[in-house]
Amino acid sequence: MQAIVRACIAEGWPARVAAIIANRANAEGLAFAQENGIVTAVVPSQGKTREAFDTELAAEIDRHQPDLVVLAGFMRILTPAFTEHYAGRLLNIHPSLLPAFPGLQTHARALEAGCKVVGATVHFVTAELDHGPYILQAALPVRAGDTSETLAERILPLEHIIYPRAVRWFVEDRLVVADGRVTLTPGADGTPDPQWFFGENA
């Protein structure tokens, strides 16, 4: 989230971050948002059904009338009604090269499977967990001696590159989704951008 906010400001996107919403009052991102003059809200999830929480969350989101909803460190499974409500304008990032290893413990599962390359994927969110049209992926090679912890540490900087980049493409109306695939239109200077990033030395 912080990487996206900083990129939005530094790169002068034609957009603003309308609000940062969390389900925990002690979420670190709330303090960062307040320090940067961004509206914050907390919608507690504890003790509520998924349906009840998602209804309250959607009501709070809609109060800010966003064009795009970005999930950042939000580790909850969303209901089909919620994902349908924001279809085509809800993004997430997952620490694997989807469709490989959706869900939790992605790095451990990749190591167990003997993967030679791992990475992260920014995608549109659908009702199916960690699926939806893929926007941008970043990859890096698995090193001898890598652990779940070292992979997470090495992949995180790549996430901080590709997530802001994908959000900016959405803001600039450059993402076209057809038949479950995302096409990226050329930028203002006509130069195409790759929809992948390889961090050889990350």
Q: Which residues are identified as catalytic?
A: 94
Cβ–Cβ under 8 Å, residues 18 and 39: yes
To the question of whether residue 26 is assigned a binding role by annotation, the answer is no
CA distance to 30, 31, 108, per residue, from 63 (Å): 18, 21, 39
To the question of whether residue 89 is assigned a binding role by annotation, the answer is no
Query: What is the distance between the alpha carbons of residues 30 and 17, in angstroms, rounded to a whole number?
Result: 13
To the question of whether residue 1 is assigned a binding role by annotation, the answer is no
Residue given tokens 């959706």 in the structure block: 102
Cβ–Cβ under 8 Å, residues 94 and 130: yes
To the question of whether residue 174 is assigned a binding role by annotation, the answer is no
To the question of whether residue 77 is assigned a binding role by annotation, the answer is yes
Binding residues for (6R)-10-formyltetrahydrofolate: 50, 75-78, 92
